[in-house]
């Protein structure tokens, strides 16, 4: 994919392809790209939400998760770590019956396990995750230059698994790094300002 100009005159990353999206989905994706994706995110609760949503996205389109994000927030008590860590089998069944979210038992159970893993950390989740952020690098000129996995994402996934996290493979870890601004994979010609 290449970078494509949009009606507002701004050039965006090629994955924001207006021709392939319904108008409402385009707006949702565009706003996510313009205001969230690649912006530095800190704080355990915010990062726990992103870890959770990236796990639910595994094997699916991110657009599905964006459409359901408010439902996820409602269903998982706005990703309150302590509350989710105390979920029981009854909560799993409640979530499995919630058509507003992705009803995948393994991903639901992983989210609960991850909340428990966060609660057991001896370091802040943000400090742990950001410790794997690579140094600044030039923005890619083309989508073909964007990796799916890096040495840093492999190391992050390995450490998270060691600490009891689930659904945190190297590809998911790299997607998390992109989404939370640990790496800047906006295209060089994208209008979104660089954060570093």
Active-site residue numbers? Answer: 32, 54, 62
The tokens describing 125, both together, are: 């989740």
What is the b/e burial string over 103-114, where b = at least 16 CB atoms within 10 angstroms of the residue's CB? ebeebbbbbbbb
Which tokens is 116 given? 């428990």
* Secondary structure, 3-state, 34-101: HHCCCCCCCCHHHHHHHHHHHHHHCCCCHHHHHHHHHHHHHHCHHHCHHHHHCCCHHHHHHHHCCCCC
Distance CA 23, CA 7 (A): 12
Output the six-digit token pair for 22. Answer: 């319904």
d(C-alpha 107, C-alpha 94), whole Å: 14
Sign of torsion over alpha carbons 149, 153, 76, 22 = negative
Q: Cβ of 159: how many Cβ atoms within 10 Å?
A: 16
């Amino acid at each position: 994919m290449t970078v494509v100009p949009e009606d507002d005159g701004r050039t965006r990353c090629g994955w924001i392809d207006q021709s392939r999206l319904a108008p409402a989905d385009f707006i949702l994706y565009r706003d996510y790209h313009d205001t969230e994706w690649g912006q530095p995110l800190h704080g355990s609760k915010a990062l726990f939400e992103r870890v959770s949503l990236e796990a639910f996205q595994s094997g699916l389109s991110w657009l599905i998760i964006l459409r359901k994000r408010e439902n996820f927030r409602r269903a998982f008590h706005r990703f309150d770590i302590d509350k989710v860590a105390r979920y029981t089998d009854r909560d799993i069944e409640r979530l499995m019956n919630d058509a507003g979210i992705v009803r995948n038992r393994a991903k639901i159970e992983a989210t609960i396990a991850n909340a428990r893993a966060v609660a057991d950390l001896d370091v802040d989740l943000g400090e742990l995750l950001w410790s794997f952020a690579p140094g600044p690098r030039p923005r890619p000129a083309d989508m073909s230059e964007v990796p799916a996995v890096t040495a840093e994402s492999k190391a992050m996934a390995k450490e998270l698994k060691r600490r009891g996290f689930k659904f945190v493979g190297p590809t998911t870890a790299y997607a998390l790094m992109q989404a939370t601004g640990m790496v800047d994979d906006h295209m060089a010609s994208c209008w979104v300002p660089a954060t570093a």
